Amino acid sequence: MYSCLPLTQSQSYLFAGLTNTVYPGAVHSRFEHSLGVYHLAGEVAYRLRAQQDPDFPVEDFDIKTVKLAGLLHDIGHGPFSHTFERQFLPRFLSGAPWSHEDMSISMIDYIVDKHHIDIEPECLKKAKSPTEKQFLYDIVANGRNGVDVDKFDYLVRDSRACGVGCGFMFPRLMGSMRVLGDEICYRAKDYLTVYKLFSTRAEMHRTVYTHAKVKGIELMAVDALSKANESLGIADAVQNPGEFWKLDDTILKRIEVDERPELKEARDLVLRIRRRDIYQFCNEFAVPKEKLDHFNDVTPQDIICSQKSSDVTLKEEDIAVSTVQIDLTRGSSNPLESVKFFQDHDSTDKFTIPVEHISHLIPAVCQDKIVRVYAKKPELVEAVSQAFENFQMTTYGVKGILATPEKKRNGKRLFPY
């Protein structure tokens, strides 16, 4: 099965596919991550087999299937990871939403047929969709509570590459997990270790994946892809695995070196990214917790309508808005409410643990929503910043404190790079 992996080798792994523009060490690929998940999935499956009831065995075929699922779980991702799926594609696809999970299944079928790979049909079938032994499928991507080896790998790998440190230690969970009632459960005394998984993920999103400058560069990349879409047929490729696998992070280089006049706008945006002439961050605010359930996305038009007196008249194309959601994997819900625990290794009962029985330091609200506004041209930073502050005061009665420094407001760059 390794013959399929080079298809994704030049695709970045990180949740934000352009993170390496801010964290230069983050140049690891989805290929490396896939191998890591493949290895950890096998390790967990072997450990569970050693602990399992003989009447409900984990067989060699099951372990092979789990490892295969780990190896191929992300093969359906497009260039720049979730940025492509969540920001670029919605501009061009109508109807049913496209997902990298569905494309992964299509890609597996395509690879097997195209390269005549000899693999048991039953193994492929089980790797793609669960039929029995649900706990085996939770090893790689746990839809029940979010505790899975996919996170084990990328949190440690990304933290190390970005130099931010990682307090989560997955070997402790791997060493004690058990299957009770077809569900992977954890020792009650490891409750805070499980919480650390979710809190580490949230912290990585806050400090790395959704870094303000990373998001600004992402917005530029999405604009460049959008302007090049008609000429290069980027969005059309997602309907055909035979074309989709050709899309990777080199798409920006393709735009940069293509001299066709119709690609000039896209090419200019890519060159701006190369020269570090990026969209300028103006300000941000965190949506009040009482407004989270009924929040409406902020648009450039909202900002324009809040502009008062100014030397320039802003237009929608002058402004970019990014809404960032940071949570513990389950939106506003606490994923710990879905994690099952056991008392000790002689226990046969599983149960949930109310958070207040463990700690009062674990937050009651499990979601942040942050709105950031960018000026697409340096000379417009002052006008956009002021309009956004007016919008915040009108809407929420307060304004964000992370405003653009005065030097940048006047169109000057603090640093030459």
Model pLDDT, residue 412: 55
CATH of the domain at 143: 1.10.3210.10
Residue 92 structural domain: 2-211
> Are both 313 and 410 inside the same structural domain?
yes
Q: Which of 172, 196, 211 is the last residue of a domain?
A: 211
Model pLDDT, residue 414: 45
Q: Which of 154, 177, 211 is the last residue of a domain?
A: 211
Mean pLDDT, residues 118-132: 78
CATH of the domain at 306: 3.30.70.2760
Identify the band that residue 33 occupies on the pLDDT scale cut at 50, 70 and 90.
very high
When divided into structural domains, the chain yields a total of: 2
* 3-state secondary structure at position 314: coil
Mean pLDDT, residues 104-118: 91
> Are both 11 and 124 inside the same structural domain?
yes
Mean pLDDT, residues 109-123: 88
> Are both 49 and 186 inside the same structural domain?
yes
d(CA 32, CA 409): 41
Residue 247 resides in a domain: no
Tokens of 348: 């046969």
Residue 199 resides in a domain: yes
pLDDT exceeds cutoff 50 at 9: no
Catalytic residues: 100
pLDDT exceeds cutoff 90 at 319: yes
Residue 25 resides in a domain: yes
Mean pLDDT, residues 227-241: 95
In tens, the pLDDT along 55-90 reads 677 889 999 999 999 999 999 999 998 999 999 999
Residue 284 resides in a domain: yes
> Are both 206 and 299 inside the same structural domain?
no
In tens, the pLDDT along 279-314 reads 999 999 999 888 888 899 999 999 999 998 778 899
Q: Which of 165, 180, 211 is the last residue of a domain?
A: 211
Residue 34 resides in a domain: yes
- pLDDT averaged over every residue in the chain: 89
Model pLDDT, residue 124: 80
pLDDT exceeds cutoff 80 at 5: no
- Integer angstrom CA distances of residue 161 from 155, 157, 164, 218, 380: 10, 6, 8, 19, 35
pLDDT exceeds cutoff 70 at 218: yes
> Are both 176 and 304 inside the same structural domain?
no
Residue 359 resides in a domain: no
pLDDT exceeds cutoff 50 at 4: no
The owner of tokens 């949190």 is 155
Closest CA to 409 of 376, 388, 382: 382
d(CA 277, CA 346): 61
pLDDT exceeds cutoff 70 at 316: yes
Residue 291 resides in a domain: yes
DSSP code per residue over 178-245: EESSSSEEEEGGGHHHHHHHHHHHHHHIIIIIT-HHHHHHHHHHHHHHHHHHHHHTTGGGGG-HHHHT
Residue 234 resides in a domain: no
Model pLDDT, residue 16: 54
pLDDT exceeds cutoff 80 at 264: yes
Check: CB of residue 13 under 8 Å from CB of residue 154. Answer: yes
